[in-house]
Amino acid sequence: MYGLIGKMLTAPGQRDAVIAILLEGTVTMPGCHSYVVARDPTAAEAIWITEVWDSQELHRASLALPSVQAAIAKARPMITAFGERFETEPVGGTGTHAVQP
């Protein structure tokens, strides 16, 4: 298993638009057990993305999927930087592809 936790920073007022793009472009990703996009409650422009994959190779392959490429292209003008990035080795738990507010 391969895990990734990353922080993304957006232009002021663009966080929710980027979140919507990320969620719409990442619905079907082979090998993905969990893809959670979250608002940072302490920084108005920050987004955290937590992912769990079967392998690092499947994560890399997902970046070439047409839906993911389209989401990246659409969101790129609103993304100002990438913050911390942590790789993990998930060992268990529960996951979901969609979190309802």
Q: What is the pLDDT of residues 46-84, one digit of tens each?
A: 999 999 999 999 999 999 999 889 999 999 999 999 999
Read off φ and ψ for residue 30, nearest 5 degrees: -55, 130
What predicted TM-score, i.e. pTM, was given to this entire model?
Answer: 0.86
pLDDT computed for residue 93 by the predictor: 78
Going by pLDDT thresholds of 50, 70 and 90, the confidence category of residue 101 is very low
The neighbour count for residue 40, using CB atoms within 10 Å, is 15
Read off φ and ψ for residue 66, nearest 5 degrees: -55, -40
Which residue shows structure tokens 């969609």? Answer: 98
pLDDT computed for residue 98 by the predictor: 44
Within 8 A by CB and 6+ apart from 33, the residues are: 1, 52, 53, 54, 90, 95
CATH 3.40.50.300 fits 2-88, yes or no: no
Is the pLDDT assigned to residue 21 strictly greater than 50? yes
- Residue ranges of the domains in the chain? 2-88
The neighbour count for residue 6, using CB atoms within 10 Å, is 15
